[in-house]
Amino acid sequence: MVSRTFRTRAMAATVAALALGLAACGSSGSGDSSTDAASGGGDSGDLITVGFSQVGAESGWRAANTKSIQDTLTKDNGFDLKFSDAQQKQENQIQAIRSYIAQGVDYIAFSPVVESGWDAVLEEAKQANIPVILTDRAVDSEDTSLYKTFIGSDFVEEGKRIGEWVSDNLGTEPINVVELQGTTGSAPAIDRKQGFEDATKGNPNVKIIASQTGNFTRAEGKTVMEGFLQAYPDIDVVYAHNDDMGLGAIEAIEAAGKVPGKDIKIVSIDGVKDGMTALSEGKINYIVECNPLLGPDLADIIKTLQSGGTVEPRIVTHDDAFDQAAATAALPTRQY
């Protein structure tokens, strides 16, 4: 979800602020994350100390997102990163954030497991004068002063783009759709479902016959799809909220003696390399990208704030979309 436009704008804002003399303004990838969260802040000198709480390591997308952040927020780039893996548990994230507050980090950034239940701990960060940055996922707090900005994709738009493609390309005749939802209560699961439904509600040919969470994992996506295949013999399309669940669905479909991409069409969101490979092979039919490479944008935001600059409260990153030909062309240089 990297926005070159934002990166350029953020760097320009930083330079402008300095010139004015500041007159105005699905694997975690490194070591024992829980130890990093619990350890003391230490003397980081002139480094900017950042506490980051990750959702988990539930998918290839998440692994790429973690790597981007860890590869960017390095000491060589001026950061002291303290990283924790919440293992998809909100209580672990809240504990990590409180640990960062106690350590007195300069900034806190996190990708919320779910949307609700953050006001208390974010108020604690605010009282400690520690700016909070939301990455990838939003919170549903009405008090937007609890965080500086939210950078990430427009999940509703992602679901809408998938729905429009299904409606235009497959919904010319009656079709039965099963939906593999993301983690219950998470922003992408809520929004991607809404976007798809909004885009297809005007087409009477598109009917969602079943919808169930697969928790964004390949294993659960396979298990849920196996259940769908047993309960519904007339499935035409699988809408997976991420590639990993779509890949799990492929395994279930093939085990049932059907051909994914032909007997049962598959559409998904993310654009990780495994998903793009399946798309290039015709096993997935269409993917809307959700770019995980947020590390450079997060670094730009923090440095802009650190220099006295300001950032927009909502930064929407750019995502592409791929059919089979586009995926085949993109794969040789795909970074994730």
- Residue-wise pLDDT for 189-246, tens only, equals 999 999 999 999 999 999 999 999 999 999 999 999 999 999 999 999 999 999 999 9
Alpha helices in the chain (DSSP H): 4-19, 33-38, 60-72, 90-103, 119-127, 155-169, 187-200, 218-231, 243-255, 273-280, 295-306, 324-330
Say if domain 4-153+292-318 classifies as CATH 3.30.750.24.
Answer: no
Give 33's pLDDT tier (boundaries 50, 70, 90).
very low
Give the number of residues written for the chain: 336
* Interatomic CA distance for residues 271 and 287, integer angstroms: 6
Chain centroid offset of residue 273 CA: 15
* pLDDT per position as a tens digit, 104-157: 999 999 999 999 999 999 999 999 999 999 999 999 999 999 999 999 999 999
* Interatomic CA distance for residues 284 and 105, integer angstroms: 43
For residue 317 the two structure tokens come to 């990153």
For residue 203 the two structure tokens come to 């087409």
* Interatomic CA distance for residues 22 and 15, integer angstroms: 10
Cα separations in angstroms, 22 against 18, 25, 305, 313: 6, 5, 11, 20
Entry pTM: 0.82
**Architecture in CATH for domain 155-290:** 3-Layer(aba) Sandwich (3.40)
Q: Give start-end residues of each CATH 3.40.50.2300 domain in the chain.
A: 4-153+292-318, 155-290
